[in-house]
Amino acid sequence: MDSQFLEELKDTFSIVFRDVSLLETAFTHSSYVNEHRQLKLSDNERLEFLGDAVLELIISEYLFARYPDYPEGKLSKLRSSIVREESLSKFAVECHFDKYIQLGKGEENSGGRTRPSLLCDLFEAFLGALLMDQGLEAVRKFVKQVMYPKVESGAFDHEMDFKTRLQEVLQRHGDVKIEYRLVNEVGPAHEREFFMEVYSDNAKIGAGSGKSKKLAEQAAAENALGFVK
């Protein structure tokens, strides 16, 4: 593992991995493994699966305690905006994770180092590795340092429900038919990616993807909002 990155983790987050191989796996993309089969490496997909689960638990626990007056629906929407792909990819960049992931040449050349879905997976894989190496409290401490300040600054308040905002914009001058259509889904059952398109009166106005149909709908609505006036 890059010694500069190890120093960054120590200096910025007071994190020192006991088992550095876990960290190395978290920062190894499947494309790198496929291009270096002779090394018999493992990619970060299993750690991503674990990190995704622990992050949802920690954020749910945090929001439940911080917003005692919020109903379940509002808590769910806020959590979704925090843990969605675009948000986590930005956290990965802020932590400089994008600099240190190992990518295959093809993935590197196609812009993988800046791809939101890849960076989101990387962030979750790091959390999974940290959980395995140091336990739940270490992950909670890291999330508190990196993510909570953004929540408390209100950075996600306006992103809580893109579908509602899109509906409000489209129906300012009367009723229109808004429809979300699932156009594709890829990946294994534990790591599904859903692709959704949104239509207004049968005209396509946006598209997006996410790890659930609901998140994909939100992404499509957000995309549409960039074009609808």
CATH assignment at residue 82 = 1.10.1520.10
In the chain, how many domains are there?
2
| Same domain (yes/no): 214, 139 | no
| Same domain (yes/no): 179, 129 | no
Kind and range of the H or E element at 179? strand 178-186
| Same domain (yes/no): 55, 112 | yes
Which pLDDT does position 83 carry in this prediction?
A: 93
| Same domain (yes/no): 183, 139 | no
Residue 206, token pair as written in the block: 């946006």
Spatial CA neighbour of 143 closest among 81, 56, 70: 56
| Dist CA 46 CA 125 (whole Å) | 8
pLDDT by position in tens, the chain (length 229): 789 999 999 999 999 999 999 999 999 999 999 888 888 889 999 999 999 999 999 999 999 999 888 888 788 888 988 998 989 999 999 999 999 999 999 888 988 899 999 999 999 999 999 999 999 999 999 999 999 999 888 778 765 578 888 888 898 878 889 999 999 999 887 778 999 999 999 999 999 998 888 888 988 998 998 887 6
pLDDT digits (tens, 9 = 90+) for 69-87: 888 878 888 898 899 898 9
Q: Which domain holds residue 55?
A: 3-159
pLDDT digits (tens, 9 = 90+) for 95-131: 999 999 999 998 889 888 999 999 999 999 999 999 9
| Same domain (yes/no): 37, 103 | yes
| Same domain (yes/no): 154, 183 | no
| Same domain (yes/no): 171, 151 | no
| Dist CA 139 CA 25 (whole Å) | 17
| Same domain (yes/no): 140, 68 | yes
Residue environment code for 17-29, b if the CB has 16+ CB neighbours within 10 A, otherwise e: beeeebbbbbbbb
| Same domain (yes/no): 136, 88 | yes
Owner of token pair 């049968």: 202
Whole-model pTM? Answer: 0.71
| Dist CA 228 CA 215 (whole Å) | 20
Which pLDDT does position 205 carry in this prediction?
A: 95
Report yes or no: 186 and 193 within 8 Å, Cβ to Cβ: yes
| Same domain (yes/no): 166, 155 | no
Query: Which residues have a catalytic role annotated?
Result: 52, 124
Please report the DSSP string for 182-220 in residue order. EEEEES-GGG-EEEEEEEETTEEEEEEEESSHHHHHHHH
Please report the DSSP string for 127-178 in residue order. HHHHHHHH-HHHHHHHHHHHTHHHHHTTTTGGGS-HHHHHHHHHTTTS---E
Radius of gyration for the alpha carbons in the chain, expressed in angstroms and rounded:
19
* Residue 178 belongs to domain with CATH number: 3.30.160.20
What is the strand order of the sheet 178-186 is part of? 178-186, 193-200, 203-210
| Same domain (yes/no): 26, 94 | yes
